[in-house]
Amino acid sequence: MLPEIEKLLVLQDRDQKLRAVLTEIAALPGEKAARDREFKAADDRLEAARSRQKEIEVERNKLEVEVKAKQDQISRYKNQQLETRKNEEFSALRHEIEMAEKVIIELEDRELVLMEEAESLKPSLQAAQEAHAAEKKKVETHMASLVTRKENLDARQKELEAERPSFITGIDEDLLDRYNRLFKSKNGIALVTVEHGVCAGCNMQVTHQAILEVKAEKEIVGCPQCGRILYEPQ
């Protein structure tokens, strides 16, 4: 194998590792956003479970205010009964009192129904709270692992970048330039094997002439189709 090819293969292996690290780093914000959405969804589910309970509370408070108002009304009617001397007025007031008492009974019945519903909601709310706590914990663990992964990836990136100069020493400048351009434009694959006359990069048949040149191992040969640097598998 040509010594340049050997060096470039080592460099390519390193560069592919760095490329993988950078790709992973680039994907982290998306992963974090997904975790954030999970967090939000867990909150929403708990909120939905709580909303009926809140509605019931609001309605019960309203009913209690109404009951109080009716009770006050009854007290006023009773005072008026004490003050009146007219029989007609007295019975009219008694009728009003009976009506108000009937309304109070209806309001209290409605309140009872609501209390029963609130009671029946308790287990499902409890379950929703437990599920919420478990989900939050899971997401928090994921978040923490994302932070650790980011730290590890950053460290790996620095390491690979710091070591790169030592892997390019001795490689001809033009060849390195050619390699760099190929690596960038060909998805991180600048050097490929040619097997059974086919380029492993583009899967196209390579010309007979090119195959002979690769086999001769005298110069760097590019694939006539995709331009990648060809070498014979060892």
What b-and-e string marks burial along 216-225, b requiring 16 or more CB atoms within 10 Å of the CB?
eeeebbbbee
Q: Is 211 in the site for Zn ion (CB under 5 A)?
A: no
> Which tokens in the block code for residue 3?
């010594």
Considering the complex, what minimum distance in angstroms separates the CB of residue 36 from Zn ion?
43
In this structure, what are the phi and psi dihedrals at residue 62, rounded to the nearest 5 degrees? -60, -45
* 69 and 46 Cβ atoms separated by less than 8 Å: no
- Please count the residues of this chain forming the interface with Zn ion, following the rule CB under 5 A: 6
Considering the complex, what minimum distance in angstroms separates the CB of residue 192 from Zn ion?
7
Whose CA is closest to 153, among 10, 16, 18? Answer: 18
In this structure, what are the phi and psi dihedrals at residue 230, rounded to the nearest 5 degrees? -100, 145
C-beta closer to Zn ion: residue 53 or 205: 205
Binding mask 138-177 for Zn ion (x = CB under 5 A): ----------------------------------------
One-letter amino acid for residue 214 of the chain: V
Q: Is 8 in the site for Zn ion (CB under 5 A)?
A: no
Cα–Cα distance measured from residue 45 to residue 42, given in angstroms and rounded to the nearest whole number: 5
C-beta closer to Zn ion: residue 42 or 191: 191
Q: Is 199 in the site for Zn ion (CB under 5 A)?
A: yes
213-232 residues near Zn ion, rule: CB under 5 A: 223, 225-226
Considering the complex, what minimum distance in angstroms separates the CB of residue 223 from Zn ion?
3
Indicate the burial class of 179 (C-beta count within 10 angstroms; 0-12, 13-18, 19 or more). Answer: buried
C-beta closer to Zn ion: residue 160 or 192: 192
Binding mask 90-119 for Zn ion (x = CB under 5 A): ------------------------------
C-beta closer to Zn ion: residue 74 or 223: 223
Considering the complex, what minimum distance in angstroms separates the CB of residue 189 from Zn ion?
10
Considering the complex, what minimum distance in angstroms separates the CB of residue 228 from Zn ion?
5
C-beta closer to Zn ion: residue 49 or 199: 199
C-beta closer to Zn ion: residue 61 or 209: 209
C-beta closer to Zn ion: residue 97 or 199: 199
* 206 and 223 Cβ atoms separated by less than 8 Å: yes
Cα–Cα distance measured from residue 193 to residue 188, given in angstroms and rounded to the nearest whole number: 14
CA distances from 216 to 20, 181, 212, 219, 227 (A): 33, 25, 6, 8, 18
Binding site for Zn ion (CB under 5 A): 199, 201-202, 223, 225-226
